[in-house]
């Protein structure tokens, strides 16, 4: 099925696709425990209780179109911290009320863009070009460090660069903390987008991120570098004295009082 008007009409009239509910976008997720998108749109009564109880203010309210009033997590602003407070309160079962275990959540799947990921650039090219073309070096691995399910959802391949595993629940904390700008090196694709029968047209965009994730018990596990082998690999990486131009959401003090 193609895109464009003809493809759209075909999908709606020949395949019975609901034109009102199939709206997927990267880094726009339903709260944890959400049923599939079509059922979610039918069941969600826009009571915004999930939004109200979210202690992190992660859940935002859609403000336009047929999805108006429904909850979204926008991990670029604020990711979901998997406290599971919202699921319990959903009155209609649009969010699975029995879900307690954060590892069972499937909001989406993170995928790492190797062309801008600091660690990946460093590993592949030994360089990290900044805006002025200088070489700056950093093994960032922020995504691995902030992941609440580290080693289940994300691992450091060869102990050097992050790889997303099957256990990724799509909470988006890595997206929130990823230091690359303007685009993030890690992005979350919503869960529904990864299913061909549900997402239809949108699946084309999502396929890659779902195919690149590595099975938790697959060969990725066995290729972890350890000990002297790892040290050798790390020594080979060229570094520079310039610190990377990270932007912090707070003022970085030049010196700390009472520190000698």
Partner 1 sequence: MYRTYRRAAQLLVFSVMFLIPLLNLYEIYAITGTFYAVNIGRLGIADPVVIFQALFASGSLTAALLSAALFAVFLALLLGRVWCGWMCPYHLLADGAAWTRARVRHKLFRSNAPESLVVPGSLKANMVRYAFLVLGTVAAGAFGIPFLNYVSAPGILSTEAMIFVKERSVSLELGFIAALLLLELCVSPRFWCRLFCPTGAFLALFRMPFTLRVGTDTAGPKAPCCKGNYCSAACPMGLSAFREGNNLLCTNCGRCIDACTAHGGPGRLHFKGFTS
Smallest separation (angstroms) from partner 1 to the CB of 218: 37
Of 179, 181, 186, which Cα lies nearest the Cα of 164? 186
Query: In this chain, which of 39, 135, 195, 233 binds partner 1, going by CB under 8 A?
Result: 39
Q: Closer to partner 1 at the Cβ: 20 or 246?
A: 20
Q: How many CB atoms lie within 10 A of CB 51?
A: 19
Tell me how far apart the alpha carbons of residues 11 and 199 are, in angstroms, rounded to a whole number: 12
- 92, 145, 212, 215: residue in contact with partner 1 (rule CB under 8 A): 92
- Return the H-helix or E-strand segment holding 229: helix 227-236
* Interface stretch with partner 1, choices 26-34, 44-52, 115-123, 227-235 (CB under 8 A): 44-52
Count the residues of the shown chain that bind partner 1, applying the rule CB under 8 A: 30
Q: Minimal distance in Å, beta carbon 85 to partner 1?
A: 8
3-state secondary structure of 28: strand
Whole-number Å distance between alpha carbons of 150 and 143: 9
Measured distance CA(176)–CA(250) in Å, rounded: 15
Q: Which stretch binds partner 1 (CB under 8 A): 3-11, 49-57, 117-125, 180-188?
A: 49-57
Q: Up-side HSE of residue 179: CA atoms within 13 Å toward CB?
A: 17
Q: How far is the CB of 243 from partner 1 (least distance, A)?
A: 36
Rule CB under 8 A: which residues touch partner 1? 18, 20-21, 38-39, 41-49, 51-53, 55, 57, 61, 63-64, 66, 68-69, 89, 91-93, 97
């Amino acid at each position: 099925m193609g895109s464009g008007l003809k493809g759209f009409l075909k999908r709606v009239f020949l395949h019975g696709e609901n034109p009102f509910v199939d709206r997927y976008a990267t880094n726009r997720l339903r709260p944890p425990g959400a049923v599939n998108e079509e059922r979610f749109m039918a069941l969600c009564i826009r009571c915004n209780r999930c939004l109200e109880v979210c202690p992190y203010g992660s859940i935002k309210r859609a403000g336009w179109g047929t999805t108006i009033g429904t909850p979204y997590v926008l991990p670029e602003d604020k990711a979901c911290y998997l406290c599971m407070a919202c699921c319990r309160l959903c009155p209609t079962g649009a969010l699975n009320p029995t879900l307690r275990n954060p590892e069972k959540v499937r909001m989406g799947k993170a995928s790492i863009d190797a062309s801008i990921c600091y660690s990946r650039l460093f590993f592949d090219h030994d360089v990290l070009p900044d805006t002025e073309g200088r070489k700056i070096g950093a093994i960032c691995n922020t995504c691995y460090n902030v992941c609440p399910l580290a080693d289940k959802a994300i691992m450091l391949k060869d102990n050097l660069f992050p790889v997303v595993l099957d256990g990724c629940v799509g909470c988006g904390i890595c997206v929130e903390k990823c230091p690359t700008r303007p685009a993030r090196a890690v992005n979350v694709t919503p869960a529904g987008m990864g299913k061909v029968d549900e997402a239809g047209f949108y699946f084309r965009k999502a396929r890659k991120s779902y195919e690149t994730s590595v099975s938790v018990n697959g060969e990725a596990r066995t290729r972890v570098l350890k000990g002297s082998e790892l040290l050798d690999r790390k020594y080979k990486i060229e570094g520079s004295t310039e610190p990377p131009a990270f932007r912090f959401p707070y003022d970085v003090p030049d010196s700390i009082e009472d520190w000698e």
